[in-house]
Structure 1
Amino acid sequence: MAKFELTDIHSLILSAAATRPDGNLLPPPEGLGELSEQLRASYSDLVRHKFAAEIETDASDQIWRSEEGKTYGLVLTDKGKAAAAEQTPAVAKTVKKIDTVFDLLRREQGATLTELVDATGWLPHTTRAALTRLRKKGHVIDKATRDSATCYSITAAA
Structure 2
Amino acid sequence: MRFIALLCLLLNFALQAEEAPEAVLDKLHEYAASADWDKYFALYTEDALFLGTDAGERWTMAEFASYARPTQGWRYLPTQRHLLRHGDIIAFDELLDSPAYGQSRGSGVLVKTAGGWRILQYHLSFPIPNDIAKEITGRIRAAAGKGSGAH
Structure with greater contact order relative to length (CA < 8 Å, sep ≥ 6): 2
Per the TM superposition, whether the score is higher than 0.5 is no
> What TM bracket, shorter-length normalisation?
under 0.3
Between structures 1 and 2, the one with greater strand share: 2
Compare the two structures and name the one with the higher helix fraction: 1
Q: TM-score, normalization: structure 1? A: 0.24
